[in-house]
Each structure stands twice: as structure tokens, then as C-alpha cells.
Structure 1
Amino acid sequence: MTMNENEKNKRIEININEKTAQGIYANLQIVTHSPGEFILDFCQVLPGLPKANVISRMILSPQHAKALMKTLAANISRYEQNFGEIKELQHARQPQLQFQADKKEDDMV
């Protein structure tokens, strides 16, 4: 098998449906981990509201989390080369975060 044929065999066709392609806006992310996984929770915080909802949760293996970190770093570097430095957000104070799971009727006894 030639290198070109080998490369073709490694390609993955990625499909995206219309709803997923629209994306979801998140302005707060929370990252936690255990020995076997990293959990990334993405939230929307609206001005004046003391509550935020997790709108998406991604669970990654440590290896995939590290690959994501490297990919983000490379993309941020390229972005800043083209558009200038991204200024970090200045928060007066970090909000205290509390998780509350939704209660389902099945969970109530």
C-alpha cells in the first residue's frame, strides 16, 4: 500500500446536521476531572440572573482532553497571528458555583 492509499484509509467522513451546525452559545465553562475522564460543562450566564444552566456536557478521556488542549492552543496562536492578541476577561470576582441536578418524576419516591 502506498502512502497516499494509506492516508485515504485513515480519513473519516464527518457529517453534521443542521441543528448541530447552528451551534450553541456558551459564556461559562466548568472543567472537572477524575482519573479516567475530563468533564466539560458549557453554560449560558445571562446578565442579572443568579442562575445558569448547563447547555452541553462533553466527557473526554484524558488523552482526548490533552489533544483538545493542544488543538485549541494551536488555533489560538494562529488566530492571534492574524487578528492580534485576545484580551483575557477581567472578572471582579469568580462566582460561587453550585450544581443542582434536575429531579425527574421517576427519581421521586
Structure 2
Amino acid sequence: MSDQKPKNDGQINIELDDQMAEGTYSNLAIINHSVSEFIVDFISVMPGRPKAKVKSRIILTPQHAKRLAKALAENVKRFEHAHGEIKDYEQPPIPMNFGPTGEA
């Protein structure tokens, strides 16, 4: 019998519950930073709504923010290789104007 613990080869067991698996839609991200952290607020701006709420806030160390930026860049590159270039349209001003709003 061995006293050694089994090796996990650096793998992490990640759990994703049903609610989290549904995800949260965001069409706007605002990024702020300090010396010690990056704060990314994900927001959903909807047509005809003058107010939008932060749907999720992620706080990262500068090192993790840099790793995330690299990972996103690599995944965008792979996506474009498989599906063609992603068009980068000029961003509308905030608040976004989605056109006329209906009245009853």
C-alpha cells in the first residue's frame, strides 16, 4: 500500500450547474483597472430602454487579464479561420439608439 496521493496531471474538475450553463447575454462590456485588478462589467443594453444594469462583474488580477486577452485573441483567430473574418463595425454611441420606440 502506498502513502502517495494519485496524480491529477494538473487537471481541474470544473462544475457547471444548469443555471450558469444558460449564460447571460451581454452586448456591452466596460473595463476598468487599478494597480492590482481589472474589473470587467458585462451589460445588456436593450432597445427603447434608457437604463441598463450590469449583468455580471468579473474581477481579475493583471496576470489573469493578460491571459484572458491572449485566449480571446487566439479564439477569435480560430473562429475567423473556420468561419471568415468578423466584421468590426463602428460602435454606436452609448446609449445606443435602436430606432423609434413604440407608443400605445
TM bin (shorter chain): 0.7 to 0.9
Q: What is the aligned partner in structure 2 of residue 39 from structure 1?
A: 39
Q: Percent identity?
A: 47
Q: Name the structure where helix makes up a greater proportion of residues.
A: 1
Runs of 4+ residues deviating >4 angstroms: none
Tell me which residue corresponds to 2:28.
28
Residue type of the alignment partner of 1:72: L
Runs of at least 5 residues in structure 2 that lack an aligned partner in the other structure: 1-5, 96-104
TM-aligned CA deviation for residue 9 of structure 1: 3.0
Secondary structure of 2:9's counterpart equals: helix
Q: Residue 58 of structure 2 aligns to a residue in which SS?
A: strand
User: 2: distance between equivalents of 1:75 and 1:91?
Assistant: 22
Q: CA RMSD in A?
A: 1.6
State the match for 2:49 in structure 1: 49
**Structure with the largest fraction of strand:** 1
Q: Which residue of 1 aligns with 2:68?
A: 68
User: What secondary structure, in the 3-state scheme, does the structure 2 residue paired with 1:91 have?
Assistant: coil
Aligned to 1:86: 86
* Post-superposition CA distance 1:28-53 (Å, at most 9, x none): 00000000000000000001111111
The structure, 1 or 2, with the larger RCO (C-alpha pairs under 8 Å, 6+ apart) is 2
Q: What amino acid does structure 1 have at the position aligned with 2:30?
A: I
Counterparts of 1:67 and 1:36 in 2: how far apart (Å)?
A: 15
Give me the whole-angstrom Cα distance separating, in 2, the residues matched to 1:31 and 1:90: 19
Q: Could you tell me which residue of structure 1 aligns to residue 11 of structure 2?
A: 11
TM-score for both structures, normalised by structure 2: 0.80
Q: Give the number of equivalent residue pairs.
A: 90
Q: Tell me the equivalent position of 1:104.
A: none
